[in-house]
Amino acid sequence: MCAWLLPLFVSIVSLVFGYDEADLLFVGDAMQHQAQLDAARTSKTDYDYSQYFSAITPLVSVADYAVVNLETPVSAPPYSGYPCFNAPPQFVDALSDAGFDLFLTANNHTLDRGARGLRSTIECLDERGLPHLGTYSTDSARSKALPLVVDVNKFKIGFLNYTYGTNGIEPRDGVCVDYINRARMKEDISAARAAGAELICVCIHWGDEYKLLPNTSQRHLADFLEALGVDMIIGAHPHVIQPMELRPNKYFPEKNVLVVYSLGNFVSNMKTPDTRGGAMTHIKLFRGEDKKPIVKSAAYRLLFTVPGTSPAKNFHVMEADSVTDTQWRPRALDFARRARKIFDAHNIGVEEVQPTH
């Protein structure tokens, strides 16, 4: 069937048989290290990211709603990589052009450029009409922005975003960062439901960096959110993948809960075998004749960042098995082998989408 006919076909089938479906997509940390900035720079002030995501844009753009963790401020120059990130607005444009709909901003680097950088990031996203979540210019701005309930193919989804910390930098000048706080999270979840959310998705920056398995704190917090009836718990921060679980909610057996402990890096210049890539998670929502929405299924793809050294050979993200560059293909396959070893041993109910070539 022609790709352009598929949405029409799904709509007709849904109408005839009385069910609804929606496809969500999540990726991990979108970062900008110095080598990435150097490779993308075409002049003193211009940056070209046009080919960054071209290989995976077809995968992102077909989702009904796609979410990315923007792990860098987007503020005035000078631009910089680790340890205090700051990226040009062209990076946001490239993510938007790739098809991402929601930008998460609550992470440990969100205050790398202080309150001014946080506000500049929000202004950049607002100027482009891009929804964002997790940081706010003031407390009153947070009150206006939340609850964020998005209608995705007739599913009303409440999105929330929290971080464990901001590298010891305290919010100043009235800016607001959503830190992990159980009392506030419980209030936010209740407010989202009161605003009409049928499903709740909590995106959370947590865990130990470079650890391939979740720690006790992650598991306890996931259990807390599961007990509140959260449907999707999507994790980031460790810069490596961690297991995924889709199973009946042990407190509400009539519904499922999806826990993704870490999606790893979406794009970065990290160099260890496990940090060169990450996972893309596809989630299928379903509502049948009983009119109750559920997280029906989830699957993952493995992504790998192929580095570049100049504008002629910029960084780009690909499915790990699709890397053909002779220098980087062995490293991509090694990353994929290591990730699959973890997923095969620890995933529950979440399998790999067959790679495309």
Average pLDDT over residues 243-257: 97
pLDDT per position as a tens digit, 280-289: 999 999 999 8
Span 2-18, pLDDT tens digits: 444 445 554 544 544 56
Determine the average pLDDT of the residues in 124-133. Answer: 98
Question: Is the pTM of the predicted complex or chain greater than 0.85?
Answer: yes
Share of the chain above pLDDT 70, in %: 93
SS (H, E, C) the chain: CCHHHHHHHHHHHHHHHCCEEEEEEEEEEECCCHHHHHHHECCCCCECCCCCCCCCHHHHHCCCEEEEEECCCCCCCCCECCCCCECCHHHHHHHHHHCCCEEECCCCCCCCCHHHHHHHHHHHHHHCCCCEECEECCHHHHHHHCCEEEEECCEEEEEEEEECCCCCCCCCCCCEECECCHHHHHHHHHHHHHCCCCEEEEEEECCCCCCCCCCHHHHHHHHHHHHCCCCEEEEECCCCEEEEEEEECCCCCCCEEEEEEEEEEEECCCCCCCCCEEEEEEEEEEECCCCCEEEEEEEEEEEEEECCCECCECCEEEEHHHCCCCCCHHHHHHHHHHHHHHHHHHCECEEECCCCC
- What are 32-69's pLDDT values in tens digits? 999 999 999 998 889 999 889 999 999 999 999 999 99
